[in-house]
Amino acid sequence: MTYITRTSIGFVLMLGVAGCGRKEELKEPAARTASSPGSEQKRADNIVRVSEEMLRDLRITTSTVEQHRGGDASSLLGELGVNLNAYAEVSAPLPARVVSLRAVEGQMVRTGEPLATLESGELAKARGDLATAEARRELAQRALDRKRGLNAEKIVPTREVQEAENETIAAEAQVRAARAALQALGAPDHASEGTSASTLVLRSPVTGVVLERTLALGQTADPSKPLFRIGDLSTLWLTVHAFERDAVRLANGATARISFAALPGRTFEGKVTLIGQNVDVNSRTVAVRIDMPNRDRLLRPGMSATAWLPVGEQGTMLAVPAAAVQRVRDRWCVFIPRDNRTFEIRPVGRGRDIAGEVEILSGVRVGEPIVVDGAFLLKAETERSAADGEHGERHDD
């Protein structure tokens, strides 16, 4: 009896010692996990938290959920062009040699500002013809005055007075013709002080930017080719082509949303100002003009664009920049900033792609902040953290 009791006590003690050893071994991995330096990212399914070092690398920018008019829409391709109401092509009015240049490409010029100085023998001849006509007119006028005085004294007959009047009228007509010839050349009647009769100064007819200059010093200017192209870039014209079935449902003054391949992630607005009256017989499309404000000078003539135009009756919709919507765990999501380093992963209902933006059907409210630039990297960090968590669980098992 005594032997059995000691054996039982010994067995119980051995179990206790073994149990204590096993409990310490279970605690040890947990302690290592708690003290491991790992990512600062939370393991909550809808939260991602990043370190300050990673935050600097992400370069996160935010926007807000916006409400736009929505409904049937047409997505149209087009190209930016200059505003032809504030555009000019300046050519030499006659063959002339370039002796000086006053403006370069990219320079802002105002109406009447000199662009280049030309010299032309034809211009010198035209000015000479004007000077001759003016001298003849002056001589005829003096002769008329003299004969009128003599006629009053009965010294010369009235016939001579009439002949003098006719001569004066002819001289005046010759002056007008010579002056008109100079005006047609775009040249003033007389050369500026310090210049010769053959000198012509080309001046800008509009205020704008020199878009192109196609002449050099010493070159002979060809009147059939423009030497300068000048345009006001504060407003540009975007021309898109709508299928005839959509064109009849477009309205002047409608707001268009535009994206540019050269400016990804940004959306611009413009107003429909002209819907063409002719249908192109080859493409069955109608040209539509959209006025694009360009106050920041980001837009340039020739840029390709995609315009989203409302067609027919319009309701309202929520929209966010396309870069803000990411695929996370097989769901479309956006990232909502909670503080500088913490972001909520918010599932959303994704709708149509519209001119660089995405229609949002559910999940966010108007005015709610969302991450735009950096959303893709937040998605990558979320997936990396989830993968690290799975590996850790397998290790513990």
Q: Are residues 277 and 296 in the same domain?
A: yes
Q: Are residues 294 and 308 in the same domain?
A: yes
The answer to whether 65 and 366 are in contact (CB under 8 A) is yes
Q: Are residues 66 and 77 in the same domain?
A: no
Q: Are residues 324 and 291 in the same domain?
A: no
**Does the residue 303 lie in any domain?**
yes
One-letter amino acid at 159 equals R
Domain that includes residue 350, residue range: 47-70+319-392
Q: Are residues 250 and 302 in the same domain?
A: yes
Provide the CATH number for the domain around residue 355.
2.40.420.20
**Does the residue 174 lie in any domain?**
yes
**Does the residue 148 lie in any domain?**
yes
Provide the CATH number for the domain around residue 289.
2.40.30.170
Domain final position from 272, 288, 313: 313
Q: Are residues 303 and 332 in the same domain?
A: no
**Does the residue 110 lie in any domain?**
no
Q: Are residues 325 and 299 in the same domain?
A: no
Provide the CATH number for the domain around residue 151.
1.10.287
pLDDT string in tens for the chain (397-residue length): 333 333 333 333 333 333 333 333 333 333 333 333 333 444 457 898 888 878 877 788 899 998 876 656 678 899 999 999 999 999 988 888 999 999 999 999 999 999 999 988 888 888 888 889 889 999 999 988 998 888 888 888 888 889 889 999 999 999 999 888 888 877 777 766 656 788 888 899 999 999 999 989 998 888 889 999 999 999 999 999 988 888 888 888 988 989 998 998 788 999 999 999 999 989 889 999 999 999 888 999 999 999 988 775 555 778 898 899 999 988 999 999 998 889 999 999 988 777 678 888 899 999 999 999 889 989 988 888 777 665 554 444 4
Domain final position from 266, 298, 313: 313
Instruction: Give the count of domains, the chain.
Output: 3
**Does the residue 327 lie in any domain?**
yes
Spell out the residues 6+ positions from residue 30 whose beta carbon is closer than 8 angstroms to its own.
none
Q: Are residues 302 and 370 in the same domain?
A: no
Kindly report the pTM of this predicted structure.
0.56
Q: Are residues 301 and 360 in the same domain?
A: no
Q: Are residues 159 and 143 in the same domain?
A: yes
**Does the residue 156 lie in any domain?**
yes
Distances (CA, A) of 180 to 74, 139, 174, 188: 53, 21, 10, 10
**Does the residue 129 lie in any domain?**
yes
Q: Are residues 383 and 335 in the same domain?
A: yes
Average pLDDT, the chain: 81
Domain final position from 164, 180, 196: 180
**Does the residue 13 lie in any domain?**
no
SS3 readout for the chain: CHHHHHHHHHHHHHHHHHHHHHHHHHHHHHHHHHHCCCCCCCCCCCEEECCHHHHHHHCCCEEECEEEEEEEEEEEEEEEECCHHHEEEECCCCCEEEEEECCCCCCEECCCCEEEEEECHHHHHHHHHHHHHHHHHHHHHHHHHHHHHHHHCCCCCHHHHHHHHHHHHHHHHHHHHHHHHHHHCCCCCCCCCCCCCCEEEEECCCCEEEEEECCCCCCEECCCCCCEEEECCCEEEEEEEEEHHHHCCCCCCCEEEEEECCEEEEEEEEEEEEECCCCCCCCCEEEEEEEEECCCCCCCCCCEEEEEEEEEEEEEEEEEEHHHCEEECCEEEEEEECCCCEEEEEECEEEEEECCEEEEEECCCCCCEEECCCHHHHHHHHHHHHHHHHHHHHHHC
